[in-house]
Amino acid sequence: MKTYDTIIIGAGAAGLKAAHELYLRKKSVLILDMGDTHARKVAISGGGNCNFTNTSATYKTYFGNNPKFTISALKQFSPIDTLNWVKEKGIKFIEKEPGRYFCTDGAKYIVDTLKNDIKNIEIKYNTKVESVYKNENLFIVNTEKIQFQCYSIIIATGGVSYPVLGVSNIGHLIAKKFGHKIVPLRPALCALKTKYFDANLSGISCMVQIKNKDRIICDNLLFTHFGIGGPAIYRTSLSTGKFTINFMPNKNVFDILKTAKQTNGKKDISTILGEYLPNKLALFFLTNPHKNIADFKDSELKEISDKIYNFAIEDYETIGMNAAEITFGGVDTKDISSKTMESLLCPGLFFAGEVMDISGDLGGFNLQWAFSSGVVAGRNA
């Protein structure tokens, strides 16, 4: 049986970046992946245009039990390093929002480059890892059909969202076998199911401000047939618990209504609110939409304004792993070295990417984490 320097489980962004570093170090490497191709999640990221990094990435843009775990890896391979890599490879890109970069011609160019960077490193597709154990200084990797062995191993299996792409929890199972704790998994960067809103609002989008615990999110919200989605809600799903929505951020709704009462008293209130909100949404907040605004008491206007800028959401659920962009939770980082990505419990065992309890905000942060942690693991395995 051939003995490899390193076996990488998972041919996603983190695994391929790790493989490239090992290739540069002239190590013998084998990559095992249960799917029939590499970087499947990268191929669909950013709506197929691959939002490959965000120069705003700091530990404050990550979530988990210990977001500061990301500091060292982001220094060792930063968003600027990712940008330089993309430039060096001749991949065309565009900055759609400040610091947020996408491929001009599609994700395929990132996917192909990740593969081209590792030259002749062997990848075995459609290979399901069943277990890993350690025999003295060697790791033994059991698959459905054959056994492999190596001196170090990198777990880069990702999360368990988007099961249609071929994912599994084998990375978490391996980690548990070697004594690592798993922070409970849940869907994140996804829409939410809730019954607070009327179905006829489906398809309406508006800019909102969301307050959730100590977070304030300003982004677009999209009403869906089952609840709410859009970037603002995707970002909100990284946290749990009650949150409030301000549907008219940076405006004093009560002052607007009081002024209109004094200057346009014969206008109905839905017309006044319709200048600031989509018409159907304005109607949603009103019980007497066609009543002249002059006929409302100030206390009634205050009640309406409070509902608009402080709409509380307490009862909701995520849409599930099938449509979530990422998995929140994973291997607890407390037993992993932030400087090398090596297990503190088992020498030679490394982790990279989403398999760990690190979740990034919407906007290229998760792919950057995959690149950064993969590079660090590959430099140290």
**Does 129 share its domain with 253?**
no
Q: List % helix, strand, coil for the chain (3-state, nearest 5).
A: 35, 30, 35
Residue 62 amino acid letter:
Y
Residue 34 amino acid letter:
M
**Does 206 share its domain with 125?**
no
Q: Which residue has the tokens 């593969």?
A: 115
**Does 27 share its domain with 102?**
yes
- pLDDT tens digits along 90-127: 999 999 999 999 999 999 999 999 999 998 899 999 99
- Counting the structural domains of the chain, the total is 2
Q: How many residues does the chain have?
A: 381
**Does 152 share its domain with 220?**
no
Measured between alpha carbons, how far is 131 from 259 in angstroms, rounded to an integer? 69
Measured between alpha carbons, how far is 110 from 45 in angstroms, rounded to an integer? 11
- pLDDT tens digits along 307-362: 999 999 999 999 999 999 999 999 999 999 999 999 999 999 999 999 999 999 99
**Does 314 share its domain with 335?**
no
| Distance in Å from the first CA to the final CA of the chain | 21
The DSSP output letter for 361 is: P
Domain boundary among 273, 293, 319: 319
**Does 195 share its domain with 306?**
yes
> Structural domain of residue 123, as residue ranges?
3-186+330-380
Domain boundary among 295, 319, 343: 319
**Does 234 share its domain with 142?**
no
Q: Specify the pLDDT at position 127.
A: 97
Measured between alpha carbons, how far is 157 from 146 in angstroms, rounded to an integer? 19
Domain presence at residue 16:
yes
Measured between alpha carbons, how far is 18 from 123 in angstroms, rounded to an integer? 13
**Does 151 share its domain with 224?**
no
Residue 193, Cβ density class (10 Å: 0-12 exposed, 13-18 middle, ≥19 buried): middle
CATH number assigned to the domain comprising residue 230 = 1.10.8.260
Residue 28: count other Cβ atoms within 10 Å of its Cβ. 16
Domain presence at residue 325:
no
Confidence of residue 15 (pLDDT cuts 50, 70, 90): very high
Residue 214 has pLDDT above 90, yes or no: no
CB contact at 8 A, 308 and 251: no
Confidence of residue 139 (pLDDT cuts 50, 70, 90): very high
CA dihedral 307, 311, 316, 320 (to 10 degrees): 130
Domain presence at residue 255:
yes
CB contact at 8 A, 217 and 210: yes
CA atoms within 13 A on the CB side of 58: 2
Confidence of residue 369 (pLDDT cuts 50, 70, 90): very high
CATH number assigned to the domain comprising residue 362 = 3.50.50.60
Mean pLDDT of the chain: 96
Contact residues for 76 (Cβ-Cβ < 8 A; gap 6+) = 372, 375, 376, 379
Residue 213 has pLDDT above 90, yes or no: no
Q: Compute CA distances 162 → 44, 238, 246, 253, 321, whole Å.
A: 11, 17, 31, 41, 6
Residue 47 has pLDDT above 90, yes or no: no
**Does 307 share its domain with 345?**
no
The pTM of this model reads 0.95
Confidence of residue 210 (pLDDT cuts 50, 70, 90): very high
Residue 164 has pLDDT above 90, yes or no: no
Residue 152 has pLDDT above 90, yes or no: yes
Domain boundary among 281, 300, 319: 319
- How many percent of the chain have pLDDT more than 90? 96
Q: Specify the pLDDT at position 336.
A: 98
Measured between alpha carbons, how far is 153 from 135 in angstroms, rounded to an integer? 13
**Does 62 share its domain with 98?**
yes
Residue 341: count other Cβ atoms within 10 Å of its Cβ. 33
- Can you give the C-alpha Rg of the chain in angstroms? 25
- β-bridge mates for residue 277, sequence order: none
**Does 214 share its domain with 289?**
yes
Domain presence at residue 76:
yes
Domain presence at residue 324:
no
Domain presence at residue 149:
yes
Q: Specify the pLDDT at position 165.
A: 87
Residue 163 has pLDDT above 90, yes or no: no
Measured between alpha carbons, how far is 63 from 77 in angstroms, rounded to an integer? 19
**Does 182 share its domain with 231?**
no
Residue 10 has pLDDT above 90, yes or no: yes
